[in-house]
Structure 1
Amino acid sequence: MDLRIPTPDGKVAVVTGGGRGLGRAYAEALARAGAAVVVNDVDADAAHAVVKGITGEGGRAVAVVAPVGPTSTADRLVATAVAEFGRLDVLVANAGVLRDRVLWKMTDDDFDAVVDVHLRGTFTCARAAAARMREQGGGGSLVLVSSPAGQRGNFGQANYAAAKAGIVAMARTWALELARSGIAVNAVVPVAATDMTRTIPAFAPAIDEAERTGAPLPGWLRRGHGLGTAEDAAALVVFLASDAARGITGQAIGIGGDRLALWAHPKEKAVAFAEGGWTAAAIAEAWATGVGAEPETYGIPAPTPPEA
């Protein structure tokens, strides 16, 4: 692995959903590290505010106001990067929406809206970016933003969790497909106090309390549960965009608060065999003391403060 100082100085990046929250933190951190940034958002005021802040500090940035999902938006983002800055080196596929409902109340529109932005939007933007990177040569980096909900599931977020799990699967697949082109593909799994994580019951009370009191999130939460600010999560994106991350691909990497983590890929945890195959009765008899003796947990654990 290249151990040079992790800076994307001179690189060109596209950040989708870059007007607020994590996306804004990613765009600003990349710009401060020397990258030129195409800031995408559906909110024109938010996108232009981020660009104004970056350029006001001497950085380079332009805004593209468009919804992520359609191929036309993906093509426009890549074309803007090339027209304004000459090339494209990094894609941060971050744009997202929420339509939280329990299964029996979730509508087709609730499901489709989330999958279209998160999953299809990641696909169309990554496809356009990869085509450009392969054409220009020199490799590149696709940073796909997932979520703990995609790794563990979360109440009321079937659409979101499914899309975020799919993003990690795409990262692993594209890492295989793009390896010969020198294009790294990784999923980041950030945890930060944003409007999106406020909807997660496990984190909402802690975020609300910190905002009410004006105090920073407590150390046990930053360390034990990896919950911090959006800015805490931006360092990982800067690292993955840099030459110091060459050779790192196909990974799901978590960051938040004081915590940096590598998520395990799914694998068989326990295996049993039956000569000639299994019957339902044999499975029922063997389950509790065999393969099913230690079932996996599911759901995002609720933060629990240490006892006083």
Structure 2
Amino acid sequence: MVVMDLIGKVAVVTGSGRGLGLAYARALAASGASVVVNDVEEEAVEAAVKAVEAAGGKAVGVTAAVGGTGAAEQLVSAAVEHFGRLDVLVTNAGILRDRVLWKMTDDDFDDVVHVHMRGTFTCARAAAVRMREQGEGGRIILIGSPAGQRGNFGQTNYAAAKAGIVAMARTWAMELARAQITVNAVVPVAATEMTKTIPVFAPAIEEAERTGAPLPDWMRKDEGLGTVDDVTGLVTFLASDASSGVTGQAIGVGGDRLALWSHPNEKAVMLRDGGWSAEEIAHDWAGGIGAEPESCGIPAPQPPTGA
């Protein structure tokens, strides 16, 4: 079995003061990487640094709100100033402002897109500049979401940003290939403060936290939902030399599931000499390309009877 050795590598993990981001930072440090942790709250940054160091890792903290160019450059500078280089970027920082379309304000939309999408762009740009200057390749790991892959009720802003992040991963994989910098999107599913609010999951998550028992198989396998630590293996792999041939991919992970998401492709095609009028589309739709329409939204969890 390949051992994930990140000794000598330096990683920046945005939004790593708690939750999934902290789990990524701790896992990278456990494999030998020096880590720059980041959060908008100073106390969370300090606690994250202490958690990494208490486990024997090396870390430095940067308190900054991800989104603008200044914060991105501050994160890269911290990596270089404290550890001498930058090899890995994980763009995890994010916020939620959930509302249905007719109630979503301009600020609700702009704030989420600013942190998730613009923050991913500015941080990746700053990292790419540094990695290209070093001339030794690198790893850029963007954090997506099932909402970005399928849409989700009440999450216009979040779903749009996460879909855009996966599109950026595909684009940057092409642009940075010559520099041997890989770019991939991770689509994680884990028991976090957000998933705890989903009624069908809440009892099992609460029981697992109270007793230490694992989540039931239907959650870990059918729903692909486990602990935050269940998703860290993929991030560590993508940060390592073992993933040098993997780029431009959207990879899902959670619980016992590891999945490769497909890129959008034409599902069905019809041809008509001279093109298509509105009437011809209406006539042929149901029996043609519209015979098997695509679904929308994240499928509702389906616990087994009696679960």
The bucket for the TM-score relative to the shorter chain is over 0.9
C-alpha distance in 1 between matches for 2:118 and 2:256: 31
Q: 1:210 aligns with which of 204, 209, 227?
A: 204
C-alpha distance in 2 between matches for 1:110 and 1:90: 30
C-alpha distance in 2 between matches for 1:132 and 1:198: 38
> Residues 84-163 of structure 1: matches in 2 within 5 Å?
84-163=82-161
Q: 2:231 aligns with which of 227, 230, 233?
A: 233
Structure 1 residue ranges, 4+ long, deviating more than 6 angstroms after superposition: none
> Residues 29-108 of structure 1: matches in 2 within 5 Å?
29-108=27-106
What is the identity, as a one-letter code, of the residue corresponding to 1:260? L
What is the identity, as a one-letter code, of the residue corresponding to 1:205? P
Instruction: Report if the CA contact (8 A) 1:7-1:239 is conserved.
Output: no
The aligned counterpart of 1:16 is 14
C-alpha distance in 2 between matches for 1:29 and 1:183: 21
- Tell me whether 1:178 sits opposite 2:172 in the alignment: no
Q: 2:271 aligns with which of 273, 291, 305?
A: 273
C-alpha distance in 2 between matches for 1:192 and 1:212: 14
**What secondary structure is seen at the aligned counterpart in 1 of 2:112?**
helix
Segments of structure 2 that go 5 or more residues without pairing to the other structure are none
Structure 1 residue 173: deviation in Å? 0.1
C-alpha distance in 1 between matches for 2:202 and 2:63: 30
Structure 1 residues 257, 4: closer, same or farther in 2, change over 3 A?
Answer: closer
Percent identity, aligned pairs only, is: 68
**What secondary structure is seen at the aligned counterpart in 1 of 2:199?**
helix
C-alpha distance in 2 between matches for 1:211 and 1:21: 15
Structure 1 residue 274: deviation in Å? 0.9
Segments of structure 1 that go 5 or more residues without pairing to the other structure are none
RMSD: 1.2
What is the identity, as a one-letter code, of the residue corresponding to 2:216? P
What is the identity, as a one-letter code, of the residue corresponding to 2:54? G
C-alpha distance in 2 between matches for 1:84 and 1:243: 23
Structure 1 residue 126: deviation in Å? 0.1
Structure 1 residue 236: deviation in Å? 0.5
Structure 1 residue 5: deviation in Å? 2.7
Instruction: Report if the CA contact (8 A) 2:13-2:90 is conserved.
Output: yes
Q: Which has the higher contact order (CA 8 A, sep 6+)?
A: 1
Structure 1 residue 198: deviation in Å? 4.1
What is the identity, as a one-letter code, of the residue corresponding to 1:278? W
Give the number of equivalent residue pairs.
Answer: 302
Structure 1 residue 9: deviation in Å? 2.2
C-alpha distance in 2 between matches for 1:208 and 1:143: 29
**What secondary structure is seen at the aligned counterpart in 2 of 1:180?**
coil
**What secondary structure is seen at the aligned counterpart in 2 of 1:254?**
strand
Instruction: Report if the CA contact (8 A) 2:205-2:215 is conserved.
Output: no
The superposition leaves residues 181-239 of structure 1 with CA deviations (integer Å, 9 ceiling, x where unpaired) of 0000000000011123346xxxx124421343335321111101101111100110000
Structure 1 residue 100: deviation in Å? 0.1
C-alpha distance in 1 between matches for 2:196 and 2:109: 20
- Tell me whether 1:195 sits opposite 2:189 in the alignment: no
The aligned counterpart of 1:291 is 289
